[in-house]
């Protein structure tokens, strides 16, 4: 069954409301996205496997839990994915990182790939694909098809806001990839933007509009 996890921690909801407000500055928007991304990372990595390792505390020895297996690989869908990536890297500084660049043809909304750089050894790694906005789902669907070619151990898709249309489209194509989001909004407008949404995440992060 396709899975969608709505992460509704009060801190996330509060910060998301601040991000949605049109008068929130670029600097504040970026800071909030980074903070929310840390909280999302905390939830999304809940099931990472642990193993016991022998350590010495100043008092005695013990078998203590540490993450086992290879490091997670974070994939940013450029350019807005960078905001989530930065926050997640604060929490998981050793994670491996990849980038995929897709732009949306403004008329057809069809994604066109312009950049792809992903670590070569992802086979035994969990892959977290991040993009703040799951709108039409076209970019996410295309990115995940491309990333599946690298054969990661598993894939999760993490966003901030999702439209019902984007979730449906994504799970038609990738029912095996769980979605984690902080909110599911009402719908898309005629340009493929999420309503009520927060506008263009890339423009708001980088101040390009």
Residues in contact with ligand URA by CB under 6 A are 80, 133, 135, 193-194, 197, 200-202
Find the shortest distance in angstroms from Cβ 80 to ligand URA: 6
Find the shortest distance in angstroms from Cβ 66 to ligand URA: 37
SS3 65: strand
Find the shortest distance in angstroms from Cβ 61 to ligand URA: 51
Find the shortest distance in angstroms from Cβ 169 to ligand URA: 13
Q: What does the alpha-carbon distance between residue 186 and residue 194 come to, in Å, rounded to a whole number?
A: 8
- CB of 30 or CB of 125, closer to ligand URA: 30
Could you tell me if 181 and 161 are in contact, meaning their C-beta atoms sit under 8 angstroms apart? yes
Nearest to 180 by CA among 144, 135, 128: 128
Tell me the backbone φ, ψ of residue 111, rounded to 5 degrees.
-75, 140
- CB of 77 or CB of 95, closer to ligand URA: 77
Helices (H), the chain: 10-20, 26-44, 81-91, 138-148, 164-173, 201-206
Find the shortest distance in angstroms from Cβ 116 to ligand URA: 20
- CB of 173 or CB of 200, closer to ligand URA: 200
Q: Strand pairing partners for 194? A: 188
Could you give the count of Cα atoms lying within 13 Å of 133 in the half-sphere of its Cβ? Answer: 25
- CB of 38 or CB of 80, closer to ligand URA: 80
- CB of 95 or CB of 198, closer to ligand URA: 198
How far does Cα 155 stand from its chain's mean position? 11
């Amino acid at each position: 069954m396709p899975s969608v996890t709505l992460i509704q921690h009060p801190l996330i909801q509060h910060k998301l409301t601040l991000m949605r407000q049109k008068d929130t500055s670029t600097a504040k928007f970026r800071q909030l996205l980074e903070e929310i991304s840390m909280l999302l990372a905390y939830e999304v990595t809940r099931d990472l496997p642990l193993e016991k390792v022998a350590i010495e505390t100043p008092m005695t020895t013990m078998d203590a839990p540490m993450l086992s297996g290879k490091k997670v690989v974070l994939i940013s869908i450029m350019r807005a994915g960078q905001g989530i990536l930065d926050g997640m890297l604060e929490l998981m500084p050793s994670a491996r990182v990849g980038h995929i660049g897709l732009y949306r043809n403004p008329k057809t909304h069809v994604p066109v790939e312009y950049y792809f750089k992903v670590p070569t050894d992802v086979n035994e790694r969990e892959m977290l694909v991040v993009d703040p906005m799951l709108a039409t789902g076209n970019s996410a669907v295309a990115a995940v098809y491309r990333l599946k070619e690298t054969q990661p151990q598993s894939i999760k898709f993490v966003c901030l806001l999702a439209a019902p249309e984007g979730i449906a489209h994504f799970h038609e194509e990738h029912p095996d990839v769980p979605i984690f989001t902080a909110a599911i909004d009402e719908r898309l407008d005629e340009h493929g933007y999420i309503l009520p949404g927060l506008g263009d995440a890339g423009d708001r992060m980088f101040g390009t509009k």
